[in-house]
Amino acid sequence: MAYDLTDSEPISLYPEADLRSFAKQVLTALGASDEEAEIVTDGVVTAALRWHPGQGQGLEKLFRYRRRIEEGGIVVRAAMDWLTDGPSYALLDAANGFGYVAAQRAMRKAVEKAKQSGIGMVGVRRSNHFGIAGYHAMTAAQEGFIGWAMTNARSEMAPWGSAQVVLATNPWGMALPVPNEDGVPVVLDMALTMSGKGMMRWYLEQGLEIPDSWALTPDGRVTTDPAAAMDGPLLPIGEYKGYGLSFITDVLTGVMTGAKFGLSVFRDEQDYDVGHMMVAFNPEVFMPRSEFNERLERLVLEVKSAPPIDPEKPDMLPGEIEHRRTIERQREGVPIANETVSGLRRLAHELGVSSPF
Ligand SMILES: NC(=O)c1ccc[n+]([C@@H]2O[C@H](COP(=O)([O-])OP(=O)(O)OC[C@H]3O[C@@H](n4cnc5c(N)ncnc54)[C@H](O)[C@@H]3O)[C@@H](O)[C@H]2O)c1
């Protein structure tokens, strides 16, 4: 579900460069290596540029990363290890390091494999929260490949027909290597649930009702009350079909990689053991690049030529809203929730880093 910010929402705007410098200092103060601090900073700032603050993927993630580093759930400078390294596949043991770093290494390896073999499929076990799935998919697209990034997560979704959580939001990021004629990268980046707990909390704080398609009460009733839904299961996209996708995604990211899956992901504070799967496809194995580009552009054109039902709302490609937001926020400032700002101020003080807040 796409969320637009309104003028009444409790946010403040900050220049992107200030946020980058701040996040990097925080991560360095927490013991991250230069490479780790660079990757995680780029991830959380990209998230802040693309998403609504209530989606909870921006600088507010620094609070959780700090807590996990201090509790031992995230190991800084982790000694990640390649367990398998074949012609078109590999498996990474992320040694409880940063999920962003593990996923980036895995996607870069998938791209290397796809250059040689046409496809690269790289699993990751013993990882952590990898942030926004589209970020890792875009890494492949920037190199000319189709990228597909998936992860499992803490159980928040029930099997269709139950109210007992077993599966998770298990997001997918899919990115295409050719920008369309407007220069907009095509990036489908989505949780497999209609929304998330962070957004429900945002609605609760704003005194708003949630759509009745977002979540159930713990005893399985449909509700529009975010407080009543807070401890219940999140509803999948496309009803039982989204549940099916989440199940399969847990097989690809958890069962198949040797990571935890289902109920056990993110439960042991010393060993969250999140699993990811990164896939890169090389379109040139089937036809010359120029032909692929021309065919993709034709499909984009057909999609963009479909007349909108409401002329005020032209149809968009996946990732188009986020791309427009990014450009606007790079110009006018990146929105951070006021509550997050207070927390970041405290964080800066406690870690002794300079703060733009
Ligand atoms: N790491 C994790 O555990 C985790 C878990 C859940 C979500 N996430 C991340 O959170 C972010 C937000 O996910 P989300 O599912 O809330 O996103 P969303 O529902 O806002 O958007 C999902 C996708 O739909 C597209 N879209 C939205 N409106 C559209 C429209 N009108 N026309 C065409 N396309 C449209 C967007 O471009 C996007 O690709 C993602 O980056 C996701 O990867 C991460």
Per-residue pLDDT of 238-282, as tens digits, reads 999 999 999 999 999 999 999 999 999 999 999 999 999 999 999
Section 18-25 average pLDDT: 98
| CA atoms of 282 and 144, how far apart (whole Å) | 8
CA 195 – ligand 1 centroid, Å: 9
**Secondary structure class of 354 (helix, strand, coil):** coil
Which residues, 6+ apart, have CB-to-CB distance to 85 below 8 Å?
none
CA-closest residue to ligand 1 atom 3: 153
CA 324 – ligand 1 centroid, Å: 14
* pLDDT at 161 exceeding the cut of 90: yes
| CA atoms of 255 and 327, how far apart (whole Å) | 39
CA 231 – ligand 1 centroid, Å: 22
Q: DSSP H helical segments within the chain, as ranges? A: 16-29, 34-50, 61-71, 99-117, 133-142, 197-206, 226-229, 240-250, 289-304, 320-332, 338-351
List the domain boundaries for the chain: 1-71+319-357, 81-193+236-305
Topology (CATH level 3) of domain 1-71+319-357? Hypothetical Oxidoreductase Yiak; Chain: A, domain 1 (1.10.1530)
| Segment 332-345, tens digit of pLDDT | 999 999 999 999 99
What is the pTM for the complete model shown?
0.97
Question: Residues near ligand 1 with C-beta < 6 Å?
Answer: 1-2, 51, 55, 57, 129-134, 151, 153, 169, 171, 173, 187-191, 196, 316, 318-319, 321-322
| CA atoms of 248 and 266, how far apart (whole Å) | 19
Pairing of strands 146-151, 274-281: antiparallel
CA-closest residue to ligand 1 atom 31: 316
CATH no., domain 81-193+236-305: 3.30.1370.60
Query: Hey, which residues does 146 pair with through a beta bridge?
Result: 281
* pLDDT at 7 exceeding the cut of 80: no
The preferred substitution site among 148, 151, 189 for testing ligand 1, maximizing ligand atoms within 8 Å of CB, is 189
Instruction: Identify the band that residue 1 occupies on the pLDDT scale cut at 50, 70 and 90.
Output: low
